[in-house]
Chain A
Amino acid sequence: METFTGKIWTLGDDIDTDIIIPTEYLALPTVDDMKQYAFSPLRPELAAQIGDGDIIVAGKNFGCGSSREQAPEIIKHLNVRCVIAKSFARIFFRNAINNGLLLIEQPDLYDEVKEGDQIEVVLGEAIRAGGKTYPIHPLPKNLLEILEAGGLVKAMQKRNGLIK
């Protein structure tokens, strides 16, 4: 099973899509232009601090609010390895998988780690942090297919040659 480690950044409950990418920046031409503003209403310095392969750990209802797909895209473009939260809002969840951004639901981890900790993720099995093991569930098969292909568009390409 695929395993990776990463440094974590912690965010709270109900991190909404307007926090992830405020409306005023949606008109910028590309997601790369937008990504410096990720999470800016809450933590304007955060986007510049997040490094390749880092992990975001949050509380409940991550991604609530708008259907704007720039929200998961921007996190993906910051090269965040995955987002682990107590729960995710449903439109964000779908959009993230469709863009190949890995999301993991884990109810206890957030309350027991602190920002800067290194954690280890064994996909579909468990997260290891501070000497403890936190179980995680694998995604349903159809979602895993999309995620593994790198997003819905690429999955369509694999499945039926519909896509370039």
Chain B
Amino acid sequence: MGMTLGEKIIARAAGVPEVKPGDIHTVDLDYMMSNDGTTHLTIDMFHNQVKTPRIADPKKLVFIIDHNIPAENPKTAAAHKKMREFAKEHDIDFYEGKGVCHQIMYENYVKAGQLIMGADSHTCSYGALGAFGTGIGCTDFLYAMVTGKSWVLVPETLRFELTGEFKEGVYPRDLILTIIRDIGANGANYKIMEFAGEGEHRLSVNDRFVLCNLAVEAGAKTGICEPDEKVVEFTKAHGRDAGDLFTSDPDAKFLKVYHYDLSKIEPVVARPDFVDTAVPAGEIGEVKIDEAFLGSCNNGRIDELRVAADILKGRTVHPDVRFLIAPASNAVYLQAMREGLIDIFMESGAMVMNANCSVCWGSCQGVIGAGEVLISTGTRNFKGRAGHKDSKVYLGSAATVTASAIAGKIITADRL
């Protein structure tokens, strides 16, 4: 019986020749990533509840401060200090102020075929490089940290067969928001979303990141793009080998196969308060905005910054709008500076933030007040996600967000 790409990764991590959906396996983890959302809680449990506190393999741990950086109040500062000191004491790779955790992992660690758990729901992003990344809570993280292992229930796989090419002005973010609308916010609950087909192979690894990153918004355990030569090129350029490029067997069993022709995808906007509410951007009606955000692990890479700069060049941000831009990492930020994009942003009136989770996390920067409206390239638009419970968050592509920042209302770039 053939296996899917995701099943092969679990089999490798479990040290068994074959797995099938519904099996429960103990697995060795390749990396464990934790950020400042919850690491302080894990450290407290490590000290207070573990009898003989030890770490199975510090080289497999990565701690990243990205959610509230720089610290915005003394409580956060204390949590960061705890994390910083623990990382130093235990010789754990530690990043602070270098970028969003998933972007850091993507640039520096992830290889195809790996099984990685992270104390963050968007750990599913690592499928961009053909890895199996999945989010866990801090108790699961503690267990993994102490034992180097975790358990997985082998999920069923949904395959998304992509064909064709995007039209101009349409982006992977429009595709994934369309897919989530079609299958629903729990349409892939506890499943693997596998993206493959000639349309997938035509996408850059950065584009694939956008798809895998939002898999959790359909409830998926992970999203994985079928790895190819582009993964090898990316990892080589970042100084590491590509890992094991698994692909699904021809006789692998998929719970369902979906077909998406990329040329038929249109720009969409997801409405408050759920991610699965996308409508064609042209049908959104008159929606005035107070703030626009370009950034996050979903959409803060150089590709999106280039799209925004192209639209912003020679234009200005609407006087009633705050436009916040946070590159996904310092590597992205530096690249944007070299290309002159930051000049364009600042000359247009946008605010360029440090590389961090920023507005998407709703606690550190650009929090919105009662009754305010935000359009964002962030990961979620839940009620109160970006601030006050009576504020509203719309999700769109970098192009739509930038065009809206200029117009002061939600609009696609071609209508500016």
A interacts with B? yes
For the complex, what is the distance from the CA of A130 to the CA of B153, rounded to whole Å? 35
Interface string of B107-143 (1 = CB under 8 A from A): 0000000000001110000000000000111111011
Binds B, one of A3-11, A114-122, A150-158: A150-158
Judging by beta carbons under 8 Å apart, are B49 and A164 in contact?
yes
Task: Indicate whether A89 reaches chain B with its CB closer than 8 angstroms.
Answer: yes
Complex Cα spacing A92 to B298, Å: 21
CA gap between A13 and B382 in the complex, in Å? 13
Most chain B CB within 10 A, of A23, A140, A153, is at A23
Q: Does B197 contact A (CB under 8 A)?
A: no
Query: Which of the residues A98, A140, A142 comes within 8 Å of B137, measured between beta carbons?
Result: A98
Q: A162 touching B38 by the CB < 8 A rule?
A: no
Check A66 for interface membership: any CB of B closer than 8 A: yes
CB proximity to B under 8 Å, residues A34-83: 40-42, 60-61, 64-69, 72
| Known contacts A26-B363, A69-B38, A95-B137; is-contact A142 B143 (Cβ 8 Å) | no
**Are B50 and A163 in contact, with the CB atoms below 8 A?**
yes
B383 engages A68 (CB within 8 Å): no
A22 contacts partner chain B, Cβ-Cβ < 8 Å:
yes
Evaluate contact between A67 and B189: CB separation under 8 angstroms.
no
Interface contact A89-B139, CB-CB below 8 Å: no
Select which of B75, B135, B146 is within 8 A of A67 by beta carbon: B135
Residues A95 and B140 in contact, CB atoms below 8 Å apart = yes
Residue of B nearest to A88 (CB): B189
A64-B219 in contact given A16-B382, A24-B363, A41-B389 (Cβ < 8 Å)? yes
Interface size class of B (residues with CB under 8 A): 35 or more
Chain B residues with CB under 8 A of A140:
24, 153
- A161 interface contact, C-beta 8 A: yes
**CB-CB < 8 A to B63: which residues of A?**
none
B380 within 8 A of A: yes
Q: How far is the CA of A108 from the CA of B217 in the complex (A)?
A: 24
A115-155 CB contact bits vs B (8 Å, 1 = yes)? 00000000000000000000000001010000000011100
Q: Contact check: which of B37, B121, B382, B384 meets A91 at CB < 8 Å?
A: B121
Instruction: Label chain A's interface by main secondary structure.
Output: loop
B385 at the interface (CB under 8 A from A): yes
On whether the beta carbons of A29 and B75 are closer than 8 Å, the reply is yes
* A99 CB within 8 Å of chain B: yes
Please report the C-alpha to C-alpha distance between residue A36 and residue B147 in the assembled complex, in whole angstroms.
35
Give the residues in chain A near B142, CB-CB below 8 Å. 152-153
The answer on a CB contact under 8 Å between A90 and B219 is yes
User: Distance (Å) between the CB of A117 and the closest chain B CB?
Assistant: 25
CB distance from B356 to the nearest CB of A (A): 14
The answer on a CB contact under 8 Å between B140 and A98 is: yes
Is A162 within 8 A of B51, CB to CB? yes
Select which of A69, A87, A162 is within 8 A of B41 by beta carbon. Answer: A69
Give 5 closest A-B pairs by Cβ, nearest first: A69-B137, A95-B137, A61-B186, A41-B389, A98-B139
A23-B385, A64-B219, A69-B41 given; 7 more Cβ-contact pairs under 8 Å: A18-B383, A27-B73, A27-B76, A41-B383, A162-B52, A163-B51, A164-B50
Residues of A participating in the B interface, judged by any CB pair closer than 8 Å: 14, 16, 18-19, 22-24, 26-27, 29, 40-42, 60-61, 64-69, 72, 87, 89-91, 94-95, 98-99, 140, 142, 151-153, 156-157, 161-164
Q: Which residues of B are at the interface with A, using a C-beta cutoff of 8 A?
A: 24, 37-38, 41, 45, 48-52, 73, 75-76, 79, 119-121, 135-140, 142-143, 146-147, 151, 153, 185-186, 189-190, 216-217, 219, 221, 274, 361-363, 380, 382-385, 387, 389
